[in-house]
Amino acid sequence: MLLNEDLSRRTLVHAAKLDWIPSPAKGVDRRMLFRIGDEKARATSIVRYAPESSFSYHGHPGGEEFLVLAGVFQDESGDFPAGTYVRNPPGTGHAPKSDNGCTILVKLWQFKASDRERVVSRPAEGSSPSARHGVENSCVLFDGPDELVMMEDWQANATLEIGNPSGLELLVLDGGFKENGDGLDRWSWLRLPAGQDLKATVGSDGARVWYKSGPLFHEDVCAFDAPIEGTKP
C-alpha cells in the first residue's frame, strides 16, 4: 500500500474526516496518514483503541513514536495519559492495550538506525511560557541532534512562522489556523518538505499543535523493502 509516499510534496490530511479502518486486532481502528507497506509498514496513523482492546506483543525493528491524543494508552512499562509523547527506539517491542480506551498518533519505522534512546515526555512536566511572538506556552518533547519535537499553544488571531530547513510535520490538537490558503482544524495533519516554511494565521479560538522539525527521511533509517519517493536512494 502506498499513501502520501512522496516526501517532496506538501501534504495535508484532515484526519477527523477519514473513515476508521479496522486493524488486525479487534477493537483497534486506524486513520491512515502516510503509509508504505501493508501490515509491515513505514507509517503514520491515528489509532483508536476501544475499551479493553489490545494488540499482541510485537517488535518495532524500525522504532515507534507516539503521542496520546485522548484517554490512557498502556503497555508493560506503564500508563500513558493524554499528552504523553513516547519514543521506543529500533529493537524495542511491547504489547499495547487500553483498559478504558484511547486515541494516539503513531509513527512507525521512521527512526535513524543509530537512534537508541527511549524517551517518555509529559507536557505538564516541561511546559513553560514562551517568549516567541504568537506562542503562549511551549514544551520541548524531544531535542535530538537533528530532530526537535514540540507541543505549543498558539495565541488567538496571531500570525507566526516556523522555519523549515530540513522538514516539518504537524498535527493540530485543538483549535485551528490557516496555512497556504487551507484551513486546518482538530486532527489536521500537515507535512512540509525542507525549504517550505510554515506561515500560520491562527483562528479566534487559538490552536494547540504538535510538530516535529527534522528530516522527513533519515539516510540511515533501518532497512525497509520499499522505496521512498522524494529522497535519495
179: domain range? 122-213
CA distances from 190 to 73, 120, 195 (A): 24, 24, 15
**Residue 194 shares a structural domain with residue 157:** yes
Encoded amino acid at 203, one letter: G
Average pLDDT, the chain: 93
Q: Is residue 230 part of a domain?
A: no
How far is CA 188 from its chain centroid?
11
**Residue 134 shares a structural domain with residue 168:** yes
Q: Is residue 229 predicted with pLDDT exceeding 80?
A: no
Instruction: Give the confidence band of 151 by pLDDT, cuts at 50, 70, 90.
Output: very high
Q: Is residue 134 predicted with pLDDT exceeding 90?
A: yes
pLDDT of residue 127: 73
Q: Is residue 43 part of a domain?
A: yes
pLDDT of residue 216: 96
Which residues contact residue 125 at a Cβ distance below 8 angstroms, ignoring those fewer than 6 apart? none
Q: Is residue 189 part of a domain?
A: yes
Say if CB 149 and CB 179 are below 8 A apart.
no
pLDDT of residue 95: 96
**Residue 48 shares a structural domain with residue 89:** yes
Beta-bridge partners for 66: 86, 106
Residue 146 φ then ψ, to 5°: -140, 20
Name the pTM for this structure.
0.94
| CA 98/CA 201 separation, integer angstroms | 36
**Residue 14 shares a structural domain with residue 114:** yes
Taking only the tens place, the pLDDT of each residue in 197-218 is 999 999 999 999 999 999 999 8
pLDDT of residue 224: 62
**Residue 102 shares a structural domain with residue 22:** yes
Q: Is residue 233 predicted with pLDDT exceeding 60?
A: no
**Residue 165 shares a structural domain with residue 107:** no
**Residue 19 shares a structural domain with residue 112:** yes
**Residue 68 shares a structural domain with residue 140:** no
Q: 92-101, 110-119, 174-183, 186-195: which range is least confident on average?
A: 110-119
**Residue 10 shares a structural domain with residue 111:** yes
Domain boundary among 120, 149, 177: 120
By CB atoms closer than 10 A (0-12, 13-18, 19+), residue 173 is: buried
pLDDT of residue 232: 44
CATH number at residue 72: 2.60.120.10
Say if CB 108 and CB 41 are below 8 A apart.
yes
Q: Is residue 141 predicted with pLDDT exceeding 80?
A: yes
Q: Is residue 184 part of a domain?
A: yes
Count of C-beta atoms within a 10 Å radius of residue 134: 19
pLDDT of residue 122: 85
